[in-house]
Amino acid sequence: MKLYIQSKKYGSNVVLKDVSIEFPEGSATLVIGASGGGKSTLMKSLVGLTKFKGYLLKDGNSRVRFNRKNICYISQQPLLNPKETVIQCLYYQTLLSFPNMSKTEALQYAKCFIQRFALSKVENQRIRSLSGGQQKRAAIAHGMLRNLPVIVADEIDSGLDCVLGESIIRDLCRIAHQEHKTLVVISHNLDNIRFFDNIVILAGDEHGTGRVVYSGPTKAVLKHFEAKDIKEVMHIVSNKRYRQNTQDKEEVL
Amino acid sequence: MNKISICINRYFTTNLWTFMKKLFLHGLVLTFVLYAVQEDAFESFGATKTMLFALCITLVVIGFFNAATEFHSQREYLVFDLRTVLPLSVWVISTLIIQSLLVFCQASITVVILIKIFSIKNYFQYFITVFLILFSSDMLGFLCGFLITSSLNTTMSLMAGAIIIQVVLSGVLFTPTGLFEKITKAIVSYHGMCAIGSVADLNSYLPAGYPLEMMYYPDLDYIITAWASLLVLAALECALGVAILYFNLSCTEKYSLTKE
């Protein structure tokens, strides 16, 4: 899958420009970047939440209109009916996603996802009574049961403790590899980078327009920036922008 | 059809208690209001008009909040569902069925209360009138539920504004003329008062020699016209609500494709 954003503007402000990213099938990609780098806009463009000038290619040859009907989108805040229990939520989602499935089959299918995402103990609890981590697991199960080839997760580990956040990211990456799905995770957290095959780093240029400063294998990112760890990479990326801004100011003066 | 039944089943699995609570509260509020204004009702013109006005406005408010609060509270995950697995047409049809059922039950409760307190005779006409007032204001709530944003202040202001307009332009507080007369054509409470005043034969309580109020003309054709107006209003509000929702859903789903 390839996303090309020629430009994305909010009013006169260009948020993203000439962004071209490939998301290889069956791989897990992490999108990171400093605030204002355009991560959220990139995610919105990917799942069809905002218009942009560009295209999204599937299999490298055909332009397709992707939206959330064919991309599994897992939002930062779980968008589930708080009145429903976990099993009800997954069961009805299954029935609506696969109308030809019988009620018994749908229940079995929903229960499989409950087990898979370790929600068995809370399956009869209402969504509103679950902890933050359990709600996120329920939201992932809710999205995943549609069995779509592309999964986009927006800051799925935010607001969780590092152990829980890591386990959720690890599980998602494992599923992507095992089931040959394309996973795109947008995150601020740099601790779980080792689980991803590829990494995309976004940074704002001197005008505040987000651009891709790196897109490639995770293993090669340190070598590319000649850095010791990913945090140093982020410092380099941020300082480049800072230096550029300072240069501009000095020139003006 | 299958998806419609799934949606209805889903609603009642999770909202049966809320549904029952709405019916209970409807009965409670209406009994309180009608007891408060029952004195001299169906005896003098003024008291009957006041009672019918109180009944009509109560029905409008109840119908409005039936839908407005519900759609506003479920807006976020509903829009998410509509963008993923739930076709808009399926959701609209199932919602109309559920809201019609709720309004049917509320109208039945209202007629039972009216029979108990006022011993009304033409209860079938009352039932249709009450059903249409409730349904039409329910659809107004449906429309407002999708017009309003996630901001609580905007929500409260819009809901209060909608209710105030219904009260002021009901045709009871003053006789609308000019522009206001045209606006009242789109006001549920105005058509509701026309229908319910005619059904109750309000003019028959006027003292001898007083001119008849044309708003409550006790003719079956006039009543049917008022019912039709309420139904058309409900259909328009529903269509507008669906159009707003459709626009919200589709405007962000399109890519502006450029040549490679």
Question: How many Cβ atoms from other residues are within 10 Å of residue A103's Cβ?
Answer: 12
- Residue B54, in any domain of the structure: yes
Residue B7 lies in a domain: no
A39 touches B242 (CB < 8 A)? no
Domain around A102: 76-147
pLDDT band at A26 (very low <50, low <70, confident <90, very high): confident
Same domain, A43 and A20: yes
Given a cut of 80, is residue B11 above it in pLDDT?
yes
- Indicate whether B135 pLDDT > 90: yes
CB of B86 within 8 Å of any CB in chain A?
Answer: yes
State the Cα–Cα distance between residues B120 and B122, nearest whole angstrom.
6
Give chain B's mean pLDDT: 86
Query: Does B259 have pLDDT greater than 50?
Result: no
Interface confidence, given as ipTM, is: 0.79
Q: How far apart are CA B68 and CA B75, in angstroms?
A: 10
pLDDT for the residue A10: 78
Q: What is the pLDDT of residue A61?
A: 54
Which residues have CB under 8 Å from B88's CB, separation 6+? Answer: B82, B242, B245, B246, B249
Kindly report which listed range (A56-60, A65-69, A202-206, A211-215) carries the lowest average pLDDT score: A65-69
Across A232-246, B149-163, B200-214, which has the greatest mean pLDDT? B200-214
Choose the weakest-confidence range: B28-32, B128-132, B212-216.
B212-216
Q: CA-to-CA distance for B37 and B47, rounded, in angstroms? A: 7
Q: What CATH number is given to the structural domain containing A187?
A: 3.40.50.300
* Angle ∠(A91,B10,B23) on CA atoms, nearest 5: 155
Q: A40 with A96, same domain?
A: no
Which of A33-42, A137-146, A236-245, B168-177 is the least confident region? Answer: A236-245
Question: How much is the pLDDT for A79?
Answer: 82
Are B231 and B129 in contact by the 8 Å Cβ rule? The answer is no
In a shared domain, residues A165 and A211: yes
Backbone angles phi and psi of A28, in degrees to 5: -110, 125
- Number of other CB atoms surrounding residue B104 within 10 Å: 14
Q: B252: which chain A residues are within 8 Å (Cβ-Cβ)?
A: 48-51
A71 vs B: CB within 8 A? no
**Could you give the 3-state DSSP secondary structure of residue B29?**
helix
User: Is residue B9 in some structural domain?
Assistant: no
A64 in contact with chain B, both atoms CB, cutoff 8 A: no
Q: How far apart are CA B21 and CA B19, in angstroms?
A: 5
Give the minimum alpha-carbon distance from B7 to chain A in angstroms, rounded to a whole number.
Answer: 8
d(CA B19, CA A251): 68
Q: Which of B77, B161, B210 is nearest to A143 (CA)?
A: B77
CB contact under 8 A, A50 and B252: yes
Which of the 8 DSSP states describes residue A28?
A: E
Domain count, chain B: 1
Residues contacting residue B260 through CB under 8 Å, at least 6 positions apart = A4, A55
Describe the strand order of the beta sheet including A210-217 as a list of residue ranges.
A62-63, A53-58, A2-10, A13-22, A210-217, A198-204, A28-33, A182-186, A150-154, A72-74
Residues 6 or more apart in contact with residue A197 via CB below 8 angstroms: A24, A27, A28, A29, A217, A218
Name the pTM for this structure: 0.81
Q: Which residues pair with A216 in a beta bridge?
A: A199
Q: Is B76 on the interface with A (CB under 8 A)?
A: yes
- Model pLDDT, residue B254: 42
Q: Count structural domains, chain A.
A: 2
Q: Is residue B42 part of a domain?
A: yes
Asked if B13 reaches chain A (Cβ–Cβ under 8 Å), the answer is yes
- Chain B interface test: which of A10, A19, A45, A81 (most B C-beta within 10 Å): A81
Q: Under an 8 A CB cutoff, do B74 and A81 touch?
A: yes
Q: Is residue B67 part of a domain?
A: yes
Distance CA A13, CA B124 (A): 62
Q: Are residues A47 and A25 in the same domain?
A: yes
pLDDT surpasses 90 at B234: yes
In a domain, B213, yes or no: yes
Q: Which chain A residue is nearest to residue B74, measuring alpha carbons? A: A81
A252 and A190 both lie in a single domain: yes
What is the C-alpha to C-alpha distance for residues A150 and A39, in angstroms, rounded to an integer?
Answer: 18
Helix A103-116 to helix A86-97 angle (10° resolution) is: 120
User: Nearest Cα to A216, choosing from A49, A22, A61, A76?
Assistant: A22
For residue B215, being part of any structural domain is answered with: yes
Residues of A in contact with B14 (CB under 8 A): 81, 83-84, 88
Q: Domain check: are A47 and A80 in the same one?
A: no
Give me the percent of chain A exceeding a pLDDT of 70: 89
> For residue A126, what is the DSSP state?
B
Q: How many Å apart are CA A168 and CA A103, to the nearest integer?
A: 29
Token couple for B225: 């016209």
Q: What is the DSSP letter of B210?
A: P
Per the CB < 8 Å rule, is A54 touching B255?
yes
Residues A192 and A159 in one domain: yes
Report yes or no on B260 lying in a domain: no
Interchain CB contact of B17 with A (< 8 Å): no
Helix axes B123-147, B88-118, angle to 10 degrees: 140
> B83 and A68: CB-CB below 8 Å?
yes
Q: Is A52 on the interface with B (CB under 8 A)?
A: yes
Domain coverage including residue B20: 15-246
Query: How many CA within 13 A on the CB side of residue B49?
Result: 16
